[in-house]
Amino acid sequence: MGSESLVLQQRVSCDDAANLHCREITLRLSADCRHLVLSRYTEHYGPAVVRWIERSHRVSVSEVFRWLVANGEVDVREEISLPEAGERRRWSSAGIGQVFFNEKGQPRDINTRMVAPEHDD
């Protein structure tokens, strides 16, 4: 694992008829799957020069997760199972509302506003 890359950008451009520039940006996991590696690879072909350079930036996957939790947008979803009624309710803090599912997992009813579940106390 860790050898496959996600290609984020690939670009080829010609400044003129004699020069060619190739650029690729990739994201992959390190071989031990503990780091994300962002690589930028550039090639330049010209009449007097062929040059390439690769720059790689590494960050710990756990640090990325910590950053996401501290700085990312929160979207909370919760499922409440009601086995005695044979239905499930899905909630979203984004205000999507409730969706009731029948025993086959098909949506039965959708409420577009947030309401608390009814309890038989």
Would you state the pLDDT for residue 61?
A: 94
DSSP string, 78-110: EEEEETTTTEEEEEETTTT-EEEE-TTS-EEEE
Long-range own/partner contacts, residues 64-72 (CB < 8 A, 24 or more apart): 64/36
* Amino acid sitting at position 117: P
Structure tokens at 16: 């003129």
Would you state the pLDDT for residue 73?
A: 84
Per-residue pLDDT band for 120 (boundaries 50, 70, 90) equals very low
Q: 3-state DSSP call for residue 63?
A: helix
Q: Give the C-alpha separation, 27 to 38, whole Å.
A: 5
Question: How far does Cα 36 stand from its chain's mean position?
Answer: 13
The model's pLDDT over 11-69, given as tens digits with 9 standing for 90+, comes to 999 988 889 999 999 999 999 999 999 999 999 999 888 999 999 999 999 999 899 88
Q: In the chain, what are the domains?
A: 5-71 (2.20.130), 77-108 (no CATH)
* Amino acid sitting at position 69: V
- Residue 114 scores a pLDDT above 80: no
The model's pLDDT over 82-96, given as tens digits with 9 standing for 90+, comes to 655 555 555 544 444
